[in-house]
Amino acid sequence: MKKGILLLTIFSFLFVACSDDDDNGLNPEPIQSEQVANLSAPQTGGQGTGQDIGGPFTKFDFASGEVTTSDTDWDIAFRGTTIAINGGAVTGTADEPSRNGEAGAAIATGTFASVTSAEGLTFAQDGSTAFAIPTGSDNGWYNYNFMTNIISPIPGKVLVFRTRNGNYAKVEILSYYKDQDTSQDARYYTFNYVYNPNTGETSFE
């Protein structure tokens, strides 16, 4: 083989290799930062009705940034003040979705901006006795004021999720009321979220 042809062949090989490397690691997908407003999370029954809590959960998919009715392509789901994740096992509550992913949840302490990574957090999954995000006032993400009957997100609590596919997202719940107005109907979530779509990447920056 002539020297010029040999050098051209080596250059072509290196160019292809570098192009492959760019596709795999040097051009990651952008981190998504979005706000979801007035996600409806109705339930039937509950306090003051004399009936058990029921009704379907509203499922949300971080990858698409949309509410979904899919049985598989969802990460978190809302009904009333309860948040389920697509990982672990059913808890036994009525009308909850089946779990078929690897999602997990952790509650980090700090401001939304200060939680910059999912690294080092311990992720729990839903199980036969409890949800990964604890339910009840002051146990998980919210406080219930018995004097005003208002549900408020607990300041300094940031929900961090490992998604069904092993990616990571963080969520800051802003309000449980339509249009963030406590005089309006409850069970309407408004929240900020940041989602890293790159497999294995834990950063939110």
In the DSSP assignment, the letter for residue 88 is B
> Is the model's pLDDT at 17 over the cut of 50?
no
According to the model, what pLDDT value does residue 19 have? 44
pLDDT digits (tens, 9 = 90+) for 154-167: 999 999 999 999 99
The overall average pLDDT reported for the chain is 90
Number of domains into which the chain is organized = 1
According to the model, what pLDDT value does residue 45 have? 87
Which residue range forms the structural domain that includes residue 178?
32-196
**Is residue 203, in this structure, part of any structural domain at all?**
no
Location of structure tokens 């408020």 = 152
**Is residue 38, in this structure, part of any structural domain at all?**
yes
User: Averaged over 134-154, what is the pLDDT?
Assistant: 97
Strands (E), the chain: 32-40, 44-46, 51-54, 58-61, 66-68, 76-79, 82-85, 104-109, 142-145, 150-153, 157-162, 168-177, 186-196
End-to-end CA distance of the chain: 50
**Is residue 173, in this structure, part of any structural domain at all?**
yes
Residue 55 is which amino acid? G
**Is residue 6, in this structure, part of any structural domain at all?**
no
> Is the model's pLDDT at 16 over the cut of 80?
no
**Is residue 144, in this structure, part of any structural domain at all?**
yes
Contact 99, 92 (CB under 8 A): no
> Is the model's pLDDT at 184 over the cut of 70?
yes
pLDDT digits (tens, 9 = 90+) for 27-67: 789 999 999 999 999 999 877 677 889 999 999 999 999 99
If one counts every other C-beta atom within 10 angstroms of the C-beta of residue 91, the result is 17
According to the model, what pLDDT value does residue 169 have? 98
**Is residue 114, in this structure, part of any structural domain at all?**
yes
> Is the model's pLDDT at 132 over the cut of 90?
yes
